[in-house]
Structure 1
Amino acid sequence: MHDNNGDDQDGHGYGGKKAAVLTATLILGVLSYQLNASMLSPALPDMARDMDVSVSSISQISSVFFLFGSVTGMIVTRWSDYLGRRRTLLVVLAVLTAGTLLCLFAPNLQVLLVGRALQGASNATFNFAYLLLSKHLKPRLFGLGVGFVSAINGGAGGVDGYLGGVMADTLGFQSIFLVILVLGLIATAASWRVIPRDSAPLPNGRMDWWGALLMAFALVCLSEAISEGSARGWTDATALVWCVGAVVAIVAFWAFERRRDNALVPIPHLASRHIWPVLLTTVLSLASVFATITFSVVIIAEDSTAGFGLSASTTALMFLTPAALLGAIAAPVAGSIAGRHSWLMTLRVGMVASLLLLAGVALSHSHQWIVFVLVAALGLTFNGIVLTSLNGLSVVQSPPDAPALLPGLNGSSFGIGASLGIAVVAPFIGQGTASGFATGLWIAVGIALVALAVSSFIRPRPVTAQ
């Protein structure tokens, strides 16, 4: 299925050099977001010293960035159904630039947090990339394009975090924001020049801003509930208040949207097997595998009692970089295969392989080099195959009358799944014992098994002509 919010003039889509230039342009926009997510982590201690605040306080720049990105990603993506992809992408890049300038010259933590919130809007660049590739590339090249963009999910081949640390140590953390600013400006200029102008918006379309407000409130409550539940325990009063707020907001959103003609999220679409199993598969997959790679294995590797006792830098180079690099290599191949054959079949192959590798990690969590091999392989099967397939499915499964609906929802599901997975396993992994490690890892295996079962409910949407 291809995006119906306008077509190429020749009716056939781009191939050859035009396809490569468009894909490269969209990757620049995606990198503007991804480097914001990955390069700053090693610089947090330096930022805390320069701002004269604690490390726990400065860590808010990450939580604000991801929370605002999760909230705005869905809303801004859906807005593009009415405003147009190109126009909305340029608005997002302009907001990113404004936020980066605030971060670059921030005199205190408060201004820095505002800048990071504005930068979080660039989360939507992934969704725009997939939608624009669907709209403008030849069908046979769409999967390959999705693969190349998905390869950025893990960063720039896993080396961007390391480079961020080096830059912070030698040039100061402001140098990272300067690089992001320059990249954002280049992405904006390239997008203005390369991406074709939008055609007419959807007929009689009007953005559901009241629904967007309710959706934002529901996502904030849900994110805070997961965060507080993980940090304080699920019986803590603050966590319970956020949980109740999330339930109330979701029920109110559901009831409100059912009565809207131009709903932000049309309930009949959301209730169909074309959409809800994709979203639930995304949440559960991220909760199992992503939480294992980026949280559980990292804690085990650095634990000096029941783990491997490695330094933070060695842990990153051993367990994070290879997985990110193999995922980046595998994603274009997986996208090309899925685009030519079946996104759903490719997804299930990747999920089965990831499930087996997860079980291997749970069985062998005390053997450093076995875990190293298995986690690197998970980078290939999960980062490369599963994430690419989920990104492609979010486009081909979205309804023709709301083509940005599923990509926007799926983008938010990534963040919800990752944070939920960490919240579930953290109480066990945090015990710092062999039995705690095993319990947390087997819980992740169980979640992955449920995710595989849920994927069987996905009903493929009939393919339509471009």
Structure 2
Amino acid sequence: MSAPADPQTPTARALRRPGFAAIVSVLILAEIVSAFELSMMYVTLPTLIKDFQADANTVVWVVTAYLLVSASAGVMGGRFGDMYGRRKVLVVVLIIAGAGSLVSLLGGSLGMIILGRAIQGVAGAVMGLAFGLAREHLKEERIPVGVSMIGASALIAGAGGAFLAGFMIDAYSWHGIFAFAAVLAIIAAIATWLVIPRDTVVKNHEKPDYLGSLLLPIAVSAILLGLSRSSKTGFASIEFIGLMGAGVAVTLLWVWWELRVESPIVNLRMFKNRQIALVMTATVLAALGPLGGMAVPSQMVMQYPTATGFGLGFTATAAGLFSFATALLGYFFSPLGGRLAHRYGARVVFIAGLVLMALVIPVILLTFGNAVMFVVAMSLNSIGIALTYGALPNVLIEAVPQTHTSETAGTNTMVRNVGQSAASAIGAYILASHQNPTTTVVAQEGISWAYIVVLVFAVLSVLVALMMCRSPVPWVPESVAERDARRGRTDKMPANAG
């Protein structure tokens, strides 16, 4: 009779290893927490203004506070995950996000809601960690499909989150949103702890980059705050120039430090790799364009009355349902995008998604007032977004070692957040300049110009993506010893050598 298998042997551990569906489902659940927490507050703004008798500039901080923390958390969470274990860091992030929801729920004041939203912002680290865990634990041939599904889940979770938040407000109050978010985050943390295999990261003795971790959120916060306020203050105001100048100055200091420190929070040398640099550039342009600039003018087209000549007369509920339906349609294409990426390369799928998003904009511009054509265009746009989100992490994975997956994905998340924030500011500035001061209605010309700016950035993103390599040269991080040798600071070589 053979002896029972040792529960600690590799064979026994392999038998307990969860399958593709279990791992991807848990990581999608974690990403849904992040996407829901981002989208849930947009629909809540009018209710908070009414309940707390506050002005819009104050209440909008429930969104701004989240974005400020989220942009930096994406980078820092990814880096810490690569260093100390992605599963462990993801669980901590989800617990902190849940705690932030409880602070907003129980605080009883607008200030406490904003504080809780800032704490929730750590959920910005989820996507990078999820991509790293997928690459770490899925079979190689299943990684493109799994990563595509996780990436595209942000699309459907964002649209569904806005609809669910609106329903909760109507049925209960804004308190229900934070209660739901807290429960969802805790469930995701427990599921991650129980289902995702233990971290395989080998412990190292690298010192955390505390100064870089401090400078990065200061730089990002100043830039995002300046952009978010620009629609009110204007681009020529002292406030905008001061915030942007401070952000740029701290950014330059941060870059100088990151190039000198032994274990940077963001390894900026990755941008020497052609593929990574082009992917990041295409991401910024797409965020400035269709990924970040389509939502506001499209909502106006849907909800403005038909008498304007371009509006479709949808109610707010109908517009929310439409957005959710198109997002769901796009998500159905995410597995196909992953399979196509595995067969033809992620670059092809990435470009296809960008091209599709660019093509729908002229359709909208040329068919204002036609509900059928708008529905077709926005459906194709959602498919393009799903393909782009799904292919983006796969494009990075092709050029990044497994040990730096979460760090690179987190950096990409930060880049995308900054681009989307800038897109919102640019769009708001254009629309406000074509707004009737008496009726507050935006003229068709303003809507058209907002779409045209989106189209310009969409075309630029396609052109940059076309420059990407079909077979990229992977980035090989430089070791500390190699860096010391290159700088001429190594003392291992004898003085009379050579």
TM-score computed with the length of structure 2 as normaliser = 0.84
Q: Aligned residue for 2:386?
A: 384
Amino acid in the other structure paired with 2:32: L
Q: Is the 8 A contact 2:31 2:150 kept in 1?
A: yes
Partner of residue 451 from structure 1, selected from 441, 453, 461: 461
The 3 A distance-change label for structure 1 pair 306 and 210 is: farther
Q: Aligned residue for 1:248?
A: 249
- Range with bigger deviation, 20-29 or 287-296: 287-296
The 3 A distance-change label for structure 1 pair 306 and 57 is: farther
Q: Aligned residue for 2:117?
A: 116
Structure ID, larger Rg: 2
The 3 A distance-change label for structure 1 pair 254 and 343 is: same
The 3 A distance-change label for structure 1 pair 271 and 234 is: farther
Partner of residue 438 from structure 1, selected from 413, 431, 448: 448
Shift of the alpha carbon at 1:240?
0.6
The 3 A distance-change label for structure 1 pair 334 and 200 is: closer
Matched, 1:417 2:419: yes
Q: Is the 8 A contact 1:35 1:155 kept in 2?
A: no
Q: Is the 8 A contact 2:31 2:153 kept in 1?
A: yes
The 3 A distance-change label for structure 1 pair 352 and 204 is: same
Shift of the alpha carbon at 1:400?
5.2
The 3 A distance-change label for structure 1 pair 324 and 173 is: same
The 3 A distance-change label for structure 1 pair 442 and 303 is: same
Amino acid in the other structure paired with 1:198: D
Q: Is the 8 A contact 1:299 1:429 kept in 2?
A: no
- Aligned residue runs from structure 1 range 101-112, under 5 A: 101-112=102-113
**Structure-1 separation of matches of 2:129 and 2:10:** 20
**Structure-2 separation of matches of 1:262 and 1:423:** 34
- Aligned residue runs from structure 1 range 41-80, under 5 A: 41-80=42-81
Shift of the alpha carbon at 1:160?
3.3
Q: Aligned residue for 1:313?
A: 317
Q: Aligned residue for 2:345?
A: 342
Shift of the alpha carbon at 1:463?
6.9
The 3 A distance-change label for structure 1 pair 13 and 147 is: farther
After superposition, the C-alpha distances for 1:291-333 in whole angstroms (9 at most, x for unaligned) are 3431121123334435314433333334x22331222111122
Shift of the alpha carbon at 1:370?
1.6
- Aligned residue runs from structure 1 range 20-35, under 5 A: 20-35=21-36
**Structure-2 separation of matches of 1:40 and 1:224:** 18
**Structure-2 separation of matches of 1:220 and 1:14:** 46
Q: Is the 8 A contact 2:399 2:474 kept in 1?
A: no
Amino acid in the other structure paired with 1:239: F
Amino acid in the other structure paired with 1:332: P
TM-score computed with the length of structure 1 as normaliser = 0.90
Amino acid in the other structure paired with 2:374: V
Q: Aligned residue for 1:3?
A: none
After superposition, the C-alpha distances for 1:417-448 in whole angstroms (9 at most, x for unaligned) are 21222222333333122332222212211111
- Ranges in structure 2 where 5+ consecutive residues have no aligned partner: 1-8, 435-441, 476-498
Partner of residue 328 from structure 1, selected from 321, 326, 331: 331
**Structure-2 separation of matches of 1:141 and 1:267:** 29
Q: Aligned residue for 1:206?
A: 207
Shift of the alpha carbon at 1:367?
3.2
SS at match of 2:289: helix
SS at match of 2:351: helix
Shift of the alpha carbon at 1:248?
1.0
Partner of residue 394 from structure 1, selected from 380, 393, 396: 396
- Aligned residue runs from structure 1 range 41-440, under 5 A: 41-156=42-157, 158-201=159-202, 203-304=204-305, 305=308, 307-308=310-311, 309-318=313-322, 320-381=323-384, 383-399=385-401, 402-430=404-432, 431=434, 432-440=442-450
**Structure-1 separation of matches of 2:23 and 2:173:** 34
Q: Is the 8 A contact 1:13 1:135 kept in 2?
A: no
Shift of the alpha carbon at 1:158?
3.6
**Structure-2 separation of matches of 1:301 and 1:360:** 15
The 3 A distance-change label for structure 1 pair 349 and 433 is: same
SS at match of 2:43: helix
**Structure-2 separation of matches of 1:264 and 1:19:** 31
The 3 A distance-change label for structure 1 pair 36 and 55 is: same
- Range with bigger deviation, 419-428 or 238-247: 419-428
Q: Aligned residue for 2:496?
A: none
The percentage of counterpart residues that share the same residue type is 23
Amino acid in the other structure paired with 1:349: A
After superposition, the C-alpha distances for 1:101-128 in whole angstroms (9 at most, x for unaligned) are 1122121111111111111111211111
SS at match of 1:105: helix
**Structure-1 separation of matches of 2:328 and 2:186:** 26
Amino acid in the other structure paired with 2:48: M
Q: Is the 8 A contact 2:148 2:389 kept in 1?
A: no
The 3 A distance-change label for structure 1 pair 136 and 340 is: farther
Q: Aligned residue for 1:4?
A: none
Amino acid in the other structure paired with 1:41: Y
Q: Is the 8 A contact 1:227 1:419 kept in 2?
A: yes
Amino acid in the other structure paired with 2:271: L
Shift of the alpha carbon at 1:366?
4.3
Q: Aligned residue for 2:439?
A: none
**Structure-1 separation of matches of 2:278 and 2:152:** 24
**Structure-2 separation of matches of 1:165 and 1:442:** 30
Q: Aligned residue for 2:484?
A: none
Q: Aligned residue for 2:4?
A: none
**Structure-1 separation of matches of 2:164 and 2:406:** 34
Q: What is the total number of aligned residue pairs between the two structures?
A: 454
**Structure-1 separation of matches of 2:20 and 2:450:** 44
Amino acid in the other structure paired with 2:388: V
Shift of the alpha carbon at 1:134?
0.5
